[in-house]
Chains A and B, each alone.
Chain A
Amino acid sequence: MGEGVEETPPAARDGAGAEVAALRARVAALESELAMARGELLRLEYVVSHDLRAPVRVISGFAQALLSDHGDGLVPDARHLAERIVANGVRMGQLIDGLLLLSRVSRSEMSVQPVDVAEMAREHFRRLVARKADRKVDLLVPETLVVEADPQLARIVLEQVLDNAWKAVAAAEGGRITIEPAGRAGGDGEGRFAIRDEGIGFDPRYAEKLYGVFQKLHRDDEFPGVGVGLAVVERILGRHGGFVHAESTPGGGARFEISFSPPEGPR
């Protein structure tokens, strides 16, 4: 990391040397503080998501039991109330699972190697189609598309962005999802790709909110989900030194550029 620091001025300049040493000590102290804060945060995320699971399951479980065992004895209003308990238990469960996924992708060990994201995309797309066979959605993807990444984390990225594209297209009642290389021709941007959809899109004025945890740009009936997918994607790409960039116009589809490596410098 510290290539620039190697060229320290001659020892004659004692004052500057002492200053550098002091700065280094300060940086080291801040780094260890940061590492501690990060560790604390990750542990908190983990414990919260873990210990919250049981009571949520129990709450919706008993409400569900009430409905299935005593549903006939309940007046319509009472049934409705119990159903709302169940529905909100399900939602709480999804929120917790989202938090857990976020915590897991932040903590997991990484082993970077060549991975074919095109194959991963096809696999996950088949699952999506199997779940909702009545939907008319096409996937266009090259034969292979290799990036340097951790395979498990890359798979999560592909699943999340494909899920989003699928939902966006479904909300627009059909269309196409395209995955294509996005590196500059002849540039060093290999390992970068884009996923385009012909879905409902989003308002670019709120683009930065896309990556917030539990932040959504659409109502639940337009675009279901708890709003954790892109936060997960951003965190994974950040761990690889890469980035995600989104463009869209409302109703005009969206394009997400995904890179597992740092942005190219200006040329």
Chain B
Amino acid sequence: MKLRPILLVEDNLDEAHLTKRALRKSHVLNDIVHVKDGAEALEWLEGTGAYADRDPEETPQVIVLDLKLPKVDGLEVLRKVRAKDRTRLTPVVVLTSSDAQRDMVDSYELGANSYVRKPVEFDAFAQAVAHLGLYWVLVNELPDPVRS
């Protein structure tokens, strides 16, 4: 069985590097696709623009989504993901520095499956990401992709 990729949407390259590293340490074998803003995330998911040769039916195992993103912000990405039949059941984990109640409520209302605030201490951060990988990639099960 082919493993579905993890889609990591994160504009800070250093944070993306550390997140990928922490995911790898949690023994996640899936490909980790890193996109740098909300617009690129949508292109990847829909197989348009720079990702025109990608099969959009191949949905990710989980989308790890930062909220504060250039161009299209995280909440907008979430809204679009939920509006599309293909991805409306795809797990979305919001991973953000924001601890504003508003962001948390908005995320859940738009259908986020989980909200994780990045701890400022790196050890705690690495642990949170490892848990996240373990659960959403290795424990959680998804229905077969819906062919539309």
Give chain A's interface residues, CB within 8 Å of chain B: 50, 53-54, 56-58, 60-62, 64-65, 86, 89-90, 93-94, 96-97, 100, 104
Contact = CB atoms under 8 A, between A and B. Distances in A.
Given A58-B15, A58-B18, A96-B120, 20 more contacts: A50-B98, A53-B97, A54-B12, A54-B15, A54-B118, A56-B120, A57-B119, A61-B14, A61-B122, A61-B125, A61-B126, A62-B14, A62-B18, A64-B123, A64-B126, A89-B122, A90-B121, A97-B120, A100-B99, A104-B99
Contacts of A57: 15, 18, 118-122, 125
Residue of B12, B118, B121, B123 most packed against chain A (CB within 10 A): B121
B21 A65 contact: yes
Residue of A56, A61, A90, A96 most packed against chain B (CB within 10 A): A61
B106 to A, nearest CB: 17
Contacts of A94: 121
Contact of A53 (B14, B120, B126): B120
Interface string B87-111: 0000000000111000000000000
A156 to B, nearest CB: 14
Contacts of A60: 121-122
B115 to A, nearest CB: 16
B116 to A, nearest CB: 13
Interface of B: 12, 14-15, 18, 21, 97-99, 118-123, 125-126
A90 B122 CA distance: 8
B96 to A, nearest CB: 10
B12 A93 contact: no
Given A58-B14, A58-B15, A62-B18, A50 B97 contact: yes
A4 to B, nearest CB: 39
Contacts of B125: 57, 61
A221 B118 CA distance: 28
Contacts of B118: 53-54, 57
Contacts of A53: 97, 118, 120
Given A54-B97, A61-B125, A93 B120 contact: yes
A96 B12 CA distance: 19
Nearest to A50: B97
A187 B120 CA distance: 46
Nearest to A65: B21
Contacts of B15: 54, 57-58
A13 B121 CA distance: 66
A65 B120 contact: no
